Amino acid sequence: MKNLVSGFPAGLSNKVLDGGANFSVGQRQLLCLARAVGRMNKILILDEATANIDPRTDELIQKTIRSKFRECTVLTIAHRLNTVMDSDRILVMSDGCVFEFDEPRRLLENTNGVFYRLVKQAGSDI
């Protein structure tokens, strides 16, 4: 974002258009993440934070979340399994019903579990 912002004539004072129309989806995600880092909240809620971005930006966001929000409670709503694999706990839900809730390692030990099947379907090695 530093390179992008430094290229704006107004720098950090550059206006963000409605819906962030003057930024790409990935840039908007990074902008939101930078704002969250600046606020230093105790709770961070991410709803599909990396759903529509390229793998490089996804990796950058994941690394930032792991380092900058290490002492925070992070609630992540995600469909990409790699987004939640290093979480302390995973809650597997469908149609408003809770199927499983535990540490990822323990969920993966249950070969009859929903999370185990999701990981297998995604082609991830267990």
CATH number of the domain that residue 58 is part of: 3.40.50.300
What is the reported pLDDT for 126?
A: 54
Same domain, 24 and 50: yes
Q: Which residue has the higher pLDDT, 48 or 125?
A: 48
Where does the pLDDT of residue 86 fall: very low under 50, low under 70, confident under 90, or very high at 90 and above?
confident
Residues 70 and 95 in one domain: no
Same domain, 62 and 94: no
Average pLDDT of the residues in 100-123: 93
**pLDDT-based confidence at residue 125 (cuts at 50, 70, 90):** low
User: Are 66 and 98 found together in one domain?
Assistant: no
Q: Tell whether 45 and 100 lie within a shared domain.
A: no
pTM to 2 decimal places: 0.71
- Which token pair is 79? 């469909």
Query: Between 25-39 and 55-68, two packed helices, what is the crossing angle to 10 degrees?
Result: 10
Domain count, the chain: 2
- Mean pLDDT, the chain, integer: 86
Show the domain range for 95: 88-126
110 and 66 belong to one structural domain:
no
Predicted local distance difference test score (pLDDT) of residue 64: 85
- If asked whether residues 54 and 92 sit together in one domain, one would say no
Query: Which helix (H) or strand (E) segment is 94 a member of?
Result: strand 90-94
Tell me, yes or no, whether 74 and 12 share the same domain: yes
DSSP 19-51: GGTTS-HHHHHHHHHHHHHHHT-SEEEEESTTT
Query: pLDDT, tens digit, for every residue of 2-50?
Result: 888 888 888 888 888 898 888 888 788 888 888 888 888 899 998 887 7
pLDDT band at 106 (very low <50, low <70, confident <90, very high): very high
d(CA 119, CA 20): 34
What is the spatial distance between Cα 32 and Cα 34, in angstroms, rounded to a whole number? 5
pLDDT at 36: 87
101 and 75 both lie in a single domain: no
Same domain, 57 and 102: no
